[in-house]
């Protein structure tokens, strides 16, 4: 049989939401054959018409050790056993397509190193922003740019919760329960709401876009669980929305600032319009300037779209001795990552203070003592306990200075409570 007529054989590890989507989409590509699918439970009822049960196995090592399989597609998530499976597959000369953001963030370096040694491709478009094409554009269309900044919404669950809180004026706990009932949030939502998912994604995206290897253990992470309905209301009055932002900045000397945390985003910023489960990535660099991509960040078919795109990209190079340049790993220099304490930001600070004369002036004195200027001050009405809500937005300030000022505020008699501190996007 001529090489061009030969079917590409796929081994699929995982048949959950994404895996099922991959099976359905690949039916439109006669040149691709799914030879084997690894599952936990062969007898589980699946939403796939006419699924060939004979190709199912409960032993994923059957797939990575099968000499006939050309490409291993891994969509099970987690580090183990995914890492052991993929290293075995690479050692056996198989190309890899994965949607596993945690694996890439934690074990990307040894995986890519092994892939380069064995001259196999490791593609992972689906691991960053679901159906939004971002990795290939960076490696191809945007290859002539020096990307120096990323601002992104990379988690649909948290974006849905924050959007709903803002729209309905309700608490985080209320919306989380609703999101769980609708299937937008897991029974244990920790990975999403505490920012782990977004942190895994930005670590890998920053590594590619900034061309510096980012250590996930040094990525600052903060979730959305402390965001209140009042924060949403006050932010809106000040001209902002609150979003969970994954960001990365490149500075001189190979220094990078990579982090995930809630931010006040100006309503004039394009990311403020990204609502519900939608994801978005904004890249900034030279010569392109500022580019935004938005779309579905998860789900059966959007994620399958990216997985199948990677499968087809690899299939075009099969039979040659050299990978396409865009498939190769070029990020081999470790970034010097900046600690969050050494960053400079604007801040939103919500304070409950006693209703006594001179409180605003006292706040100004304390912030001024720590070299922090205030851009705006919002004071709300007096409650039955004779306290007032005061919200301030600072000018650009050093995080260490901010922490020192907050410590002093907590020890000031007229300050009842520091309700929340949220960084503000410039």
Beta strand 289-296 pairing with 336-337 = unpaired
Residue 401 lies in a domain: yes
Q: For position 161, what pLDDT does the model report?
A: 97
Residues 281 and 140 occupy one common structural domain: yes
Helix (H) or strand (E) holding 277: none
Residue found under tokens 């904004």: 282
DSSP label of 299: S
Residues 291 and 309 occupy one common structural domain: no
Q: Helices 359-369 and 399-410 sit at what angle, rounded to 10 degrees?
A: 140
Domain with 253 in it: what CATH number?
3.30.360.10
Q: Active site includes 201?
A: yes
Residue 336 lies in a domain: no
Residue 82 lies in a domain: yes
96: CB partners within 8 A, 6+ apart: 71, 72, 73, 74, 86, 89, 90, 111, 115, 120, 121, 122, 123
Residues 278 and 385 occupy one common structural domain: no
C-alpha to C-alpha distances, 156 to 183, 219, 274, 327, nearest whole angstrom: 12, 20, 10, 27
Q: Which two tokens stand for residue 55?
A: 């190709």
Residues 81 and 204 occupy one common structural domain: no
d(CA 398, CA 378): 22
Residues 98 and 243 occupy one common structural domain: no
Residues 123 and 139 occupy one common structural domain: no
pTM, entire model = 0.94
Residue 316 lies in a domain: yes
d(CA 117, CA 1): 30
Residue 105 lies in a domain: yes
Q: For position 131, what pLDDT does the model report?
A: 93
Helix (H) or strand (E) holding 239: none
Count of the separate structural domains present in the chain: 3
Q: For position 1, what pLDDT does the model report?
A: 39
Residues 223 and 352 occupy one common structural domain: no
Residues 259 and 322 occupy one common structural domain: no
Residue closest to 346 by CA, chosen among 284, 285, 401, 419:
401
Q: Are 154 and 128 in contact (CB under 8 A)?
A: yes
Residues 44 and 107 occupy one common structural domain: yes
Residue 251 lies in a domain: yes
Residues 347 and 419 occupy one common structural domain: yes
C-alpha to C-alpha distances, 320 to 66, 171, 270, 378, nearest whole angstrom: 20, 57, 43, 65
Residue closest to 154 by CA, chosen among 90, 91, 219, 72:
219
Domain with 366 in it: what CATH number?
3.30.70.260
Residues 202 and 307 occupy one common structural domain: no
Q: Which two tokens stand for residue 375?
A: 């851009």
Residue 337 lies in a domain: no
Name beta bridge partners: 389: 352
Q: For position 22, what pLDDT does the model report?
A: 98
Residue 333 lies in a domain: no
Q: How many other CB atoms are there within 10 angstroms of residue 167's CB atom?
A: 12
Residues 193 and 312 occupy one common structural domain: no
- Domain range spanning residue 290? 135-296
Domain with 32 in it: what CATH number?
3.40.50.720
Q: Are 47 and 71 in contact (CB under 8 A)?
A: no
pLDDT tens over the chain, length 426 residues: 344 568 999 999 999 999 999 999 999 999 999 999 999 999 999 999 999 999 999 999 999 999 999 999 999 999 999 999 999 999 999 999 999 999 999 999 999 999 999 989 999 999 999 999 999 999 889 999 999 999 999 999 999 999 999 999 999 999 999 999 988 899 999 999 999 999 999 999 999 999 899 999 999 999 999 999 999 999 999 999 999 999 999 998 889 999 999 999 999 999 999 999 999 999 999 999 999 999 998 889 999 999 999 999 999 888 666 666 566 666 678 999 999 999 999 999 999 999 888 899 999 999 999 999 999 999 987 777 889 999 999 999 999 999 999 999 999 999 999 999 999 998
**Which residue in the list 36, 101, 106, 201 is annotated as catalytic?**
201
Q: Are 365 and 405 in contact (CB under 8 A)?
A: no
How many residues are there in the chain? Answer: 426
């Amino acid at each position: 049989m001529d090489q061009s007529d030969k079917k590409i054989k796929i081994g699929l590890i995982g048949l959950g939401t994404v895996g099922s989507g991959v099976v359905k989409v690949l039916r439109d590509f006669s040149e691709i054959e799914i030879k084997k699918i690894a599952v936990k439970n062969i007898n589980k009822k699946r939403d796939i018409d006419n699924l060939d049960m004979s190709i199912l196995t409960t032993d994923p090592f059957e797939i990575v050790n099968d000499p006939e399989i050309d490409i291993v597609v891994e969509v099970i998530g987690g580090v183990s056993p995914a890492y052991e499976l993929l290293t075995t597959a690479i050692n056996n000369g198989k190309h890899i397509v994965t949607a596993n953001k945690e694996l890439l963030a934690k074990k990307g370096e040894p995986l890519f190193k092994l892939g380069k040694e064995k001259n196999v491709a490791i593609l992972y478009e689906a691991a960053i922003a679901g159906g939004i094409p971002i990795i290939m554009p960076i490696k191809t269309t945007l290859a002539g740019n020096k990307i120096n900044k990323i601002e992104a919404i990379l988690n649909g669950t948290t974006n849905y919760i924050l959007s709903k809180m803002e729209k309905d004026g309700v608490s985080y706990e209320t919306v989380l329960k609703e999101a769980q009932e609708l299937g937008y949030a897991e029974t244990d939502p920790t990975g999403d709401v505490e920012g782990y998912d977004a942190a895994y994604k930005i670590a890998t995206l920053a590594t590619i876009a900034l061309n510096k290897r980012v250590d996930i253990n040094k990525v600052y992470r903060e979730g959305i669980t402390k965001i209140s309905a009042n924060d949403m209301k006050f932010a809106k009055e000040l001209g902002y929305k609150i979003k969970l932002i994954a960001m990365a900045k490149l500075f001189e000397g190979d220094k990078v600032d990579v982090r995930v945390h809630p931010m006040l985003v100006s309503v004039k910023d394009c990311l403020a319009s990204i609502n519900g489960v939608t994801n978005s990535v904004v890249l900034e660099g030279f010569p392109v300037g500022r580019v935004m991509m938005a779309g579905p960040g998860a789900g059966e078919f959007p994620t399958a779209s990216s997985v199948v795109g990677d499968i087809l990209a690899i299939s075009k190079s099969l039979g040659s001795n050299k990978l396409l340049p865009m498939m190769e790993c070029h990020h081999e220099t470790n970034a010097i990552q900046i600690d969050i304490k050494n960053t400079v930001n604007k801040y939103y600070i919500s304070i409950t203070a006693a209703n006594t004369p001179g409180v605003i002036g006292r706040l100004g004195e304390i912030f001024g003592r720590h070299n922090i200027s205030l851009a705006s001050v919002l004071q709300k009405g007096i409650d039955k306990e004779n306290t007032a809500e005061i919200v301030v937005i600072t000018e650009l300030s050093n995080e260490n200075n901010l922490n020192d000022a907050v410590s002093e505020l907590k020890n000031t008699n007229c300050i009842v409570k520091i309700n929340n501190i949220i960084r503000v996007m410039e």
